[in-house]
Structure 1
């Protein structure tokens, strides 16, 4: 078992077989994990938590997506969204299952127990909101159609929120909570159009407040003061990653044009430059 900072540094080797598999089988998830690691490490350092532990655990937090990588937005091909052929409940089951499948892989590869804990806790008991909302909409459409067809409402299945929630447990430590927050914020940041400091600040604050109101941080010992510091560190790190960049001129050409962020390379440029129109937002997972 890993017990020292040096041991955690040794565990951060990106040549681990699971991480090597991710680079080939789920490159979008691999890149997402690297960015989550940067966010989590910076936030942990800012509040005096174990930053190296956060980095290592962030590398592995989504290894369960190796089982069905094509069902997660960051790995989807341009042509097809496999969720188009599935009911929202089935899509949610596949998304939620990546936690258990990640734990199974971690046990198979004999990863440290702290890594396994964070894999299991990084979504807590949160809801897969995209597919939950989709199910509610389909339910409303079915009710409207049922009235036309004179069907009884009892014949239309109810949408149960618990079917769209992860099994938990909620994050139990500061490090687990930091990785959890970094995961959801990094995912959501990919959907930002024309990122600005104000948009980034709003995104970070709203997502942290949502986790608090959903009681996902109840079991860890983060204070409100520490959450404020974490939010500030997330904002700063995201701003550095999402800022505009200079358009380098060709030889003999003069230009001072700044390319807007969305026209430049996105953080997931190594994976894809666009997604199927029907794909759920990255944050759906």
Structure 2
């Protein structure tokens, strides 16, 4: 009895000390990883497509974190919560649309569509505060999009503007850019998974090409400038993603004498990058 009480008091003291110091403990992470956590339940019930997206992302992030010596458990749990803001307006995100009905088509307003898409970050931050998620988890919610452009609706706005002049500020995520290796991994995983879903590569070569483009875009746009990743880390992350995605999408190997088919044109997916030849 005394031993049980002592252990309980020690664990409580450990948790309080970690909270005071701003440290996240493995016990906290395991608790947050439970599928019965209220936010995870909300995600499953309100945005099931997003829920399954986060499960795949969690596998990708954990494997990549292992590959570069980052924190695999933190990366996995942060991936679980990175898109919780989509529970507010789930059907504006294509992974949750089950009947080919896209409410963005009814809006026909790229500014409003971009606002709704970007708002899932603010909604996610509000939920993180409400449910008292640790800072290391909550920070990934805005950082996994950084200051990227919601390109699809930005280009639609330009098409609808006679002079083609559109202020980018209405179509950019608020940031900040990823500040940790784990946040950067989730940014890369999010863009990779969305683009793979959009383009449906049929060979390992196409899958690798998609990933290289995502990584190059994020690197050249400066989104990875504020985290401690090196080029060798990016190569290891890409290979880790390939291990997970080839098991998920089953792309075939291209044998000598065969040609690569053109990737299929995908619908808009939040976070996706469509190869240049498809734009």
Please, which runs of 5 or more residues in structure 1 have no aligned partner? Answer: 144-152, 246-276
Alignment of 1:1-285 (within 5 A): 1=19, 3-86=24-107, 87-139=109-161, 143=162, 158-243=165-250, 280-283=268-271
CA separation of 1:137 and 1:243: change in aligned 2, threshold 3 A: same
CA contact (8 A) 2:178 2:227 kept: yes
CA separation of 1:37 and 1:74: change in aligned 2, threshold 3 A: same
Q: Which moved more, 1:4-13 or 1:51-60?
A: 4-13
Task: Report the Cα distance in structure 2 between the residues aligned to 1:79 and 1:204, rounded to whole angstroms.
Answer: 27
Q: Shift of the alpha carbon at 1:229?
A: 0.6
CA separation of 1:231 and 1:284: change in aligned 2, threshold 3 A: closer
Q: Shift of the alpha carbon at 1:122?
A: 0.8
Deviation readout 1:231-263 (Å, 9 max, x if unpaired): 111112111111169xxxxxxxxxxxxxxxxxx
- Report how many aligned residue pairs link the two structures: 239
CA contact (8 A) 1:124 1:171 kept: yes
Backbone CA RMSD of aligned residues: 2.0
Q: Shift of the alpha carbon at 1:282?
A: 4.7
Deviation readout 1:212-242 (Å, 9 max, x if unpaired): 1110000001011111110111112111111
Deviation readout 1:131-170 (Å, 9 max, x if unpaired): 111112222xxx3xxxxxxxxx6xxx83111211100000
- Give the TM-score normalised by the residue count of structure 2: 0.81
Q: Shift of the alpha carbon at 1:278?
A: 10
Task: Report the Cα distance in structure 1 between the residues aligned to 2:240 and 2:78, rounded to whole angstroms.
Answer: 19
Task: Report the Cα distance in structure 2 between the residues aligned to 1:38 and 1:95, rounded to whole angstroms.
Answer: 24
Please, which runs of 5 or more residues in structure 2 have no aligned partner? Answer: 1-18, 253-264, 274-279
Task: Report the Cα distance in structure 2 between the residues aligned to 1:278 and 1:11, rounded to whole angstroms.
Answer: 34
